[in-house]
Amino acid sequence: MLASCGFNFLGFPLYLDYHKEDCTEIEAAKIIQELPRNVYPVLITYLNKATDIVDLSDRLQVSIVQIHGEISLEELEKIKRYSPGMDIIKSLVVSDENFQELTDIIRQTEKFIDAFITDTFDPKTGAKGATGLTHDWNISKKLKEMTGKPLILAGGLNPDNLEQAIKYVGPAGVDVHTGIEDKDGTKSEIKSKLFAEIAKKHLTF
């Protein structure tokens, strides 16, 4: 359904810290095998050891990984060495007072990273992403201007605020999870299609 709505990438969150996985590794592998060729699967994980990340990516037959937790420079370098064709997206989780920390992450990891993604920290739960909360888009805009790597915007995006977010931040791409869900937690075809249409209209590829 999401592929037919026009999404280019589908994320598969596995081995997380706060949230529960939506599906098992076996279920994710089966879905990935059936995706159309023009839709790229992305492994989203808090794993922080290169061997674990590369092994899981190989099992899933995924060549894009979004590292959502903390990881050392040594492990990032190992991923590139073990799997040269792997594209690495590194999350930058925005909270109220961590701008300097995020700029340090960019400077330290940039040479190993293919893209960054900004997301939102929830101080009430401790969740780092998939919170349904927006953050200060000015921070994402500043981080985008700091790096030559593509920046993907996430965090509380939905069909109602997406156009404004794209125009303000100017990201290379956008990411959505809870913003296209119905109240029961399933993805809404109507919201999904509208989100993809808005994104494709206003993003510059």
Q: Which amino acid is at 188?
A: S
Please say whether the dihedral angle defined by the alpha carbons of residues 69, 74, 77 and 82, taken in this order, is positive or negative: negative
pLDDT at 36: 95
Query: Does some domain include residue 38?
Result: yes
Query: Does some domain include residue 151?
Result: yes
pLDDT at 133: 83
What percentage of residues in the chain have a pLDDT greater than 90? 85
Query: Does some domain include residue 186?
Result: no
Angle 50-60/73-82 helices, nearest 10 degrees? Answer: 40
pLDDT at 123: 67
Query: Does some domain include residue 125?
Result: yes
Query: Does some domain include residue 112?
Result: yes
Q: Cα separation of 153 and 173, whole Å? A: 6
Rounded mean pLDDT of 81-104?
Answer: 94
Q: Cα separation of 63 and 201, whole Å? A: 27
Query: Does some domain include residue 22?
Result: yes
Contact 139, 99 (CB under 8 A): yes
pLDDT at 84: 94
Query: Does some domain include residue 68?
Result: yes
What is the per-residue pLDDT across 127-153, written as a single tens digit (0 to 9) for each?
676 677 899 999 999 999 999 999 999
Query: Does some domain include residue 102?
Result: yes
- Tell me the CATH number at 35: 3.20.20.70
Query: How many structural domains comprise the chain?
Result: 1
Instruction: State yes or no: pLDDT of 205 exceeds 90.
Output: no
Instruction: State yes or no: pLDDT of 192 exceeds 90.
Output: yes
Q: Domain of residue 51: give its range.
A: 2-156
Rounded mean pLDDT of 52-73?
Answer: 96
